[in-house]
Chain A
Amino acid sequence: NAGVTQTPKFQVLKTGQSMTLQCAQDMNHNSMYWYRQDPGMGLRLIYYSASEGTTDKGEVPNGYNVSRLNKREFSLRLESAAPSQTSVYFCASATSQETQYFGPGTRLLVL
């Protein structure tokens, strides 16, 4: 099992460009999550998906969209990147009763 995988590992964007961060899990988990991590702020939940076909906003959803493509994949899209979206993005997955397992992260720099 690869667990939770994320692509790309690193990305540099110019302000206004768009991109999609990909996440996949092979643990047959129902729930998937997107977080951002900023210095001194801990992890903040952007969006989550309790099951295939559903998505819900977290603490900081503005400027992002998500798609739960199937049970394995949950993508995060930035339609028009802003410097404030420079961050490290983590995807996580879990069953309804178990703990969350995290991917290795995507480091995004918006110039």
Chain B
Amino acid sequence: GEDVEQSLFLSVREGDSSVINCTYTDSSSTYLYWYKQEPGAGLQLLTYIFSNMDMKQDQRLTVLLNKKDKHLSLRIADTQTGDSAIYFCAERTPGAGSYQLTFGKGTKLSVIP
């Protein structure tokens, strides 16, 4: 079965880079996603990467994908206090007539001013 693993906590100083790591198990995954959840809110899509890509950059966000090791990372450059949130990694797997997302348990990022 599918499983997505993330470390639970990360603490960084404001202005530093944050790197959140994720491992997944389903080699048939076509897309991998990063979602952000602020306290009391729903999940907001941050970025995603197609499985035939190694890297995707979007402003302060860089996603790296190592398909051989099934490892995904999210780097946030110049981390700000507003980046404090829980970050979820998710893999997309085929489903009946649709697709399903399998989520990791989330990494809580704390930014120290």
A interface list, Cβ under 8 A from B: 4, 30-31, 33, 40-45, 48-51, 54, 56, 58, 90, 92, 94, 96, 99-105
Q: Which residues of A contact B44 (CB under 8 A)?
A: 102
B interface list, Cβ under 8 A from A: 4, 8, 31, 33, 35, 41-45, 48, 88, 95-101, 103-106
With the chains together, A90 CA to B90 CA distance in Å? Answer: 15
Q: Nearest 10 CB-CB pairs, A to B?
A: A50-B97, A50-B98, A42-B105, A102-B42, A102-B43, A43-B103, A42-B103, A31-B98, A104-B42, A105-B42
Q: Which residues of A contact B104 (CB under 8 A)?
A: 42
Q: How far is the CB of A96 from chain B (nearest CB, A)?
A: 6
Q: How far is the CB of A16 from chain B (nearest CB, A)?
A: 28
- Contact between A43 and B42, CB atoms less than 8 A apart: no
- Contact between B42 and A99, CB atoms less than 8 A apart: no
